[in-house]
Structure 1
Amino acid sequence: MTSPSRVLKSVGPKLVPFFKSVAVYFVLFIPVDKPSVWAMFVKCAPILSLMVFVLLHGMSLGDEYMFSRRILIGLIFSCLGDALLVWPHYFLHGMGAFSVAQVFYIKAFGFESLKPLLTVPLYGGALYVVSILLPHTSDVYTIGVPVYGVLLTTMVWRAIARVRFSRNQWTWTEICSCIGGMFFAISDGIIGFDRFLQTVPYSQLLIMTTYYMAQVGIALSVVDSSSVYKLSLQSQLKAETDDTVSSIIAGMNVSSDTDEAFVSKAKWNSHDVREQVAVHQHSKHD
């Protein structure tokens, strides 16, 4: 496992723009009831810097960067959602953009390790929250809120499930995406209560703090994604090679056994023939 000091030296400088833009956001702290293009830019700047962060860790159309591409697309739609949510009448559109972001995060985290037991508390908690919010929604939100809740919960499930706790093979990037997923749920939960139920004190501060923590955690998961893919490919290739070698050896053993049986049978048949000839000659002599 990579030491924290090496991680800070390699990753830290690339995150400087993110932390600076987050600092600018909280210093200016433009109230949500004063939407403007400037407010949109200040809000979106940290996510834009995370996009650059992902690109700095490599990007191509190859399979080794499939994880990074999906995280990048998720960030792009998140940034679009941030921009739309600056204006309250675009809330539904913003929720749609974040729904697409959740889909790409889910695709990035994958379903390799299911860990179905996690679904009980996660979906149970989501169902409880939706049941509280749903009576206070109307029109398309009656469908939109549950659908987004399912997508968000699935993303959190996959973010937690990818951490290999049982085999003690977890990496710090897996922990980051796990924490990021949970903070995303907290941030969106506060948004839901603040918009549909009642005003939450310091909602803007709480929402944006947890949201930026969520996105940076998810973005950090790309740091070793290409190397993990290559290691996985090497392990798969080694396993396939071992299977092929085992099959060849087994085939050779079967062939050897068959040859021995054939030779033994031939010797036995030859012995029978010699005995029959001897008997025939003896009877003829008599």
Structure 2
Amino acid sequence: MDILETHAYDRRQRQNMSCALFLSLVPFFLASAAFLFLWAHDSPPPSVVAAGVKAAPVLLLAAMVLGWNGWRSLGGVAGGLLLSAVGDCCLVWPELFIYGMGAFAAAHLLFSLAFLTARYLPRRPSSSHSVLLYLLVFGLGAAFYVYIYPFLQKAPDSALLTPGVGVYVGLITLMANLAIRTGQVATILGSVSFLVSDSVLALQVFKVIASIKHGQAAVMVTYYLAQMLIAVGDVLVVEDQDDFSKWKRS
């Protein structure tokens, strides 16, 4: 097989992989559309059904990642998605907010650990611009926490909530920086979308701003988009690693 035939074969393989990946995302698209159709403008009423509908898209993403990458991903992105689904369920009940935040914090920790594995290692070393970007992300996270701090102090359970939110902000900014470090476009965009989603949510939940029109939709669309991009990024990075290994052996 000459080099032209090899390139043509690789192109067909990538096209087939893209089609298969898209088809595996169809259940997620349908489930997220169902949730947004039902509760795009208002938070879902506290119920087991609402919790199931809200968590279903992320559970389907976890199943997709497991299907593509196997059980090893339970210690990484798939595990983070499952913990996120737990957080989704908790946040349906306002009194379980702190537990939901804890579940999402654990999810970000698993995402971060996944981004530190060898398959996510960037092909190029970090430049000075990358270091400045890391510092910028951490700086924005710290500034956001300082900004909402007075409002956290007014919350009924501020003694637990104030340090808890601080830890959460630290973990999500760490996750975003490690995502940037990977150099994977889908992973980076997913982390940015997660930051946007959580920022909009925090501003409304902690009454920093009045509830905005379509605020629920903005939070959930960016949230589902974030989880999808992180899941897709995990699938793609494994496929890219396999292709790179084949290229090295050839």
Is TM more than 0.5 here? yes
> In the alignment, does 2:146 pair up with 1:131?
yes
Unaligned segments of structure 1, at least 5 residues:
164-173, 239-286
Alpha-carbon contact 2:84-2:103 (below 8 Å) kept: yes
| % identity of equivalent residues | 30
CA-to-aligned-CA distance 1:84-111 (integer Å, 9 cap, x gap)? 0000000001000000000000001117
Q: Which has the higher contact order (CA 8 A, sep 6+)?
A: 2
Preserved contact between residue 190 and residue 200 of structure 1 (Cα < 8 Å): no
How far 1:227 moved relative to its partner? 4.1
Residue number among 217, 225, 233 corresponding to 1:221 in the alignment: 233
Shift of 1:175: 1.0
**Residue 195 (structure 1) aligns with:** 205
Note if contact 1:32-1:204 (Cα within 8 Å) is conserved in structure 2. Answer: yes
> Partners in 2 of 1:97 and 1:232 — Cα distance?
35
Does residue 157 of structure 1 match 2:172? no
- Equivalences for 1:18-97 in 2 at 5 Å? 18-29=28-39, 31-32=42-43, 34-60=45-71, 65=72, 69-97=75-103
One-letter code of the match for 2:81?
L
For the 8 Å contact 2:187–2:234, the answer to whether it is kept is no
Which ranges of structure 2 fall in alignment gaps of 5 or more residues? 1-9, 153-157
How far 1:200 moved relative to its partner? Answer: 3.1
Moved more, 194-203 or 10-19: 194-203
Q: CA deviation at 1:69?
A: 4.0
Match of 1:167 in 2: none
TM-score normalised per structure 2: 0.80
CA distance in 1, matches of 2:140, 2:11: 35
Number of the residue aligned with 1:17: 27
Q: Distance in 2 between matches of 1:222 and 1:192?
A: 27
Q: Distance in 2 between matches of 1:216 and 1:96?
A: 21
Are 2:185 and 1:175 aligned? yes
TM superposition score normalised by structure 1: 0.71
Q: State the SS of the aligned residue for 2:46.
A: coil
1:120-178 Cα offsets, whole Å, 9 max, x none, are 21011111111111111121111011111010001111111211xxxxxxxxxx21111
Q: Which has the larger radius of gyration?
A: 1
**Counterpart secondary structure, 1:226:** helix
Q: What is the Cα deviation at residue 188 of structure 1?
A: 0.4
Q: Is the contact between residue 130 and residue 149 of structure 1 (CA under 8 Å) also seen in structure 2?
A: yes
Q: Is the 8 A contact 2:69 2:235 kept in 1?
A: no
Count of matched residue pairs: 223
- How much has 1:58 moved relative to structure 2? 3.4
Give yes or no for contact 2:47–2:92 (8 Å, CA) kept in 1: yes
CA contact (8 A) 2:50 2:92 kept: yes
Other structure's SS at 1:19 match: helix
